[in-house]
Structure 1
């Protein structure tokens, strides 16, 4: 039986991100600190602790998926192996404010303090408003967690995988909206995020073009990402308002 995880915001906010969190299928371990924008989100919801991905977009803002907004969020920057105690440059920063978009699966987190920017921690570039990524473009996605569906094989090092952007017309989901979503992946190669890497970035030519939002539970279909370029006006307005 095929299981699909459709992250339309009203539904997603009712669910625990532990059901989605951080899997890369068919990928490889990333070179340590080669993605200094990556953020690990630890989410406390009562006695439950879950995880999401995210990415640094300025010295005090992290972007992630709105469905990760289910509890107290702490951001970890500058990490590669989550269990390693030797990573001196990792920064643990509480979240001061959470601003989910009222309709779509995108959220900004304002950090309690500015991150100390260095070679291990730095923001990623955002696209221009309504910038499009051409079909066939090679992009990548990264995250922490399991590499297959067996929970016993959860890993704690950052992993990455290359994916290809699909034509909008080829995306196999009925509710796919090309104005707010981006479809990428190759189910024949079995390379995709799975059950999330929720909130992590789809990176194309050094730019965060998407946010992991919809996946197949076994990586057997393309993933769908929130299209960041559509929300640039909202992002800029929200950050400006919170900075003041």
Structure 2
């Protein structure tokens, strides 16, 4: 585990363990609260606009192109169509966009959200680890994408959290990205940007290695469809830097 500490008005410590968007095409419903780090970003109308994931009690990672104000973050949800006892709805206090985000090419498509207050950690709400900088995911690795996006390219959004298995590809257009393809006719497509690409590390621990970006092949139900993710490991220093700045302010 890697810890980072800083001094502000008091000494604060946090740990980042070693460590719209995209549709879940032909995926399966996730077991309720199996992925307690999942976040649903809600606009002023209360509509789901993007996914995200909790990395610390008061910080959520998502995609930069998901930016909209105001945003509230819904945690502890499985079925987003009906309120559950496990729900925690927390306003976003501050947005950290990557300064080099390109809204045309979607390079550096990453955004950190600071919540107004800490989420209450429980079985339905937990953070997920992110990888160390330069931690490499080998091509051919099977990982998972989860979200509440559309289940077909032209369909409606899913009410329940769904997931699908994808395979890491060898090459991407940009070095800062990770690319995947679905297995058979399964994959991710337009409907749930900002959500995590979840892979297991050497000790079988889940890590959020990628963020679903606003890119990919247009025909998302094609078995050869490619999905593009922002490579979280390459932005770990940036993430830690934003948290330090925010805490020192």
* TM-score when normalising by structure 2: 0.81
2: CA distance between counterparts of 1:48 and 1:42?
5
2: CA distance between counterparts of 1:32 and 1:116?
18
2: CA distance between counterparts of 1:123 and 1:165?
23
Q: Are the counterparts in 2 of residues 39 and 54 from structure 1 also a CA contact under 8 Å? A: yes
1: CA distance between counterparts of 2:192 and 2:62?
10
Q: Are the counterparts in 2 of residues 21 and 50 from structure 1 also a CA contact under 8 Å? A: no
Q: Trace 1:70-89 onto structure 2 (pairs within 5 A).
A: 70-85=68-83, 87-89=84-86
* TM-score when normalising by structure 1: 0.83
Q: Are the counterparts in 2 of residues 196 and 215 from structure 1 also a CA contact under 8 Å? A: no
Higher helix share: 1
* Residue segments in structure 2 that go unaligned for 5+ positions in a row: 1-19, 101-107, 201-205
RMSD (Å), alpha carbons: 1.7
Q: Are the counterparts in 2 of residues 195 and 216 from structure 1 also a CA contact under 8 Å? A: no
What is the total number of aligned residue pairs between the two structures? 213
**Counterpart selection for 2:53 from 52, 55, 62:** 55
Question: 2:27: which partner in 1?
Answer: 27
* Residue segments in structure 1 that go unaligned for 5+ positions in a row: 1-19
Q: Secondary structure at the match of 1:133?
A: coil
2: CA distance between counterparts of 1:34 and 1:81?
13
The answer to whether residue 151 in structure 2 is matched with residue 156 in structure 1 is no
The answer to whether residue 208 in structure 2 is matched with residue 208 in structure 1 is yes
Q: Are the counterparts in 2 of residues 89 and 120 from structure 1 also a CA contact under 8 Å? A: yes
Deviation at 1:222?
A: 1.1
2: CA distance between counterparts of 1:48 and 1:122?
22
Q: Secondary structure at the match of 1:185?
A: strand
1: CA distance between counterparts of 2:81 and 2:99?
35
1: CA distance between counterparts of 2:48 and 2:128?
24
Q: Are the counterparts in 1 of residues 148 and 191 from structure 2 also a CA contact under 8 Å? A: no
The answer to whether residue 109 in structure 2 is matched with residue 113 in structure 1 is no
2: CA distance between counterparts of 1:123 and 1:98?
19
Distance 1:185 1:212, change over 3 A: same
